[in-house]
């Protein structure tokens, strides 16, 4: 047991905030919180653990306590002893946003093309259906697969073009009968933009105390459908 190395499960995505690790489990569609000192106490058994300096400040857990903690984390689907099913236990790095697409204030007074209106409602209905019928992990997988395919056919969108598309969606979105939800609205906008070969990333972020989760679209360091002030308080935990 003491020689067994454990890895983060491939469907789990962690970020460290203060004295805690927040872990998004895609397969279970939930966030989990684990104290940093608990993980640091079994750091010698976690493959890829990056916090070596902080781990040295915490004594390793006795064999019995370590075994119980590892068993608990394994049963929760956070770690695995199979390297083929796991990955290094470390945070991923994401670009910090430094700009946002400005709203197009005149979009409401212009004639929005009928094709945009149709595609907006189709995008909303499509994502509505997917969220009701598919698991969260399957939704993430489909996003990633389409991003990979889309990279080979992505169009060249300037800020003005993207801004008009996003402005039109924001104007039309309230007409679709579903309350605002960051996940739905971001995925519906992503679906709409995909029709114009524009594939920004979906970014999920968290705040530890009090806990809050949020998601938005981002391309490079530019926020697509949110603002810097709001997004700035969240730490990215996953980008697809």
pLDDT band of 42, cuts 50, 70, 90: confident
pLDDT in tens, 188-237: 999 999 998 889 999 999 998 888 999 999 998 999 999 999 999 999 99
- pLDDT of 67 > 90? The answer is no
pLDDT at 55: 45
Handedness of CA 7, 13, 17, 20 (dihedral sign): negative
Buried b (16+ CB within 10 A) or exposed e, 22-50: bbbbbebeeebebebebbbbbbebbbebe
pTM of the model: 0.87
Q: What is the pLDDT of residues 118-160, one digit of tens each?
A: 999 999 999 999 999 999 999 998 888 887 777 655 555 555 6
Give me the DSSP letters along 165-219: HHHHHHHHGGGSSS---HHHHHHHHHHHHHTTT--PEEEEEEETTTTEEEEEEEE
């Amino acid at each position: 047991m003491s020689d067994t190395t454990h890895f983060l499960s491939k469907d789990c995505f962690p970020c460290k905030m203060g004295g805690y690790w927040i872990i998004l489990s895609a397969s279970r569609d939930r966030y989990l919180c684990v104290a940093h000192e608990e993980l640091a106490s079994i750091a010698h058994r976690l493959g890829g653990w990056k916090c070596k300096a902080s781990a040295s400040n915490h004594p390793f857990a006795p064999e019995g306590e370590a075994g119980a903690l590892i068993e608990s984390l394994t049963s929760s689907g956070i770690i695995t002893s199979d390297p083929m099913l796991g990955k290094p236990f470390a945070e991923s790095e994401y670009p910090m946003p430094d700009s946002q697409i400005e709203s197009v204030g005149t979009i409401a007074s212009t004639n929005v093309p009928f094709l945009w209106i149709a595609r907006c409602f189709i995008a909303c209905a499509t994502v509505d259906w997917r969220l009701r019928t598919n698991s969260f992990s399957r939704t993430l997988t489909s996003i990633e697969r389409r991003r990979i395919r889309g990279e080979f056919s992505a169009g060249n969108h300037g800020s003005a073009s993207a801004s008009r598309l996003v402005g039109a969606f924001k104007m039309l979105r309230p007409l679709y009968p579903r309350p605002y939800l960051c996940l739905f609205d971001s995925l519906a906008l992503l679906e709409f933009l995909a029709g114009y070969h524009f594939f920004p990333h979906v970014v999920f972020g968290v705040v530890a105390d009090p806990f809050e989760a949020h998601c938005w679209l981002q391309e490079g360091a530019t926020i697509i459908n949110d603002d810097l002030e709001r997004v700035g308080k969240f730490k990215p935990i996953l980008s697809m």
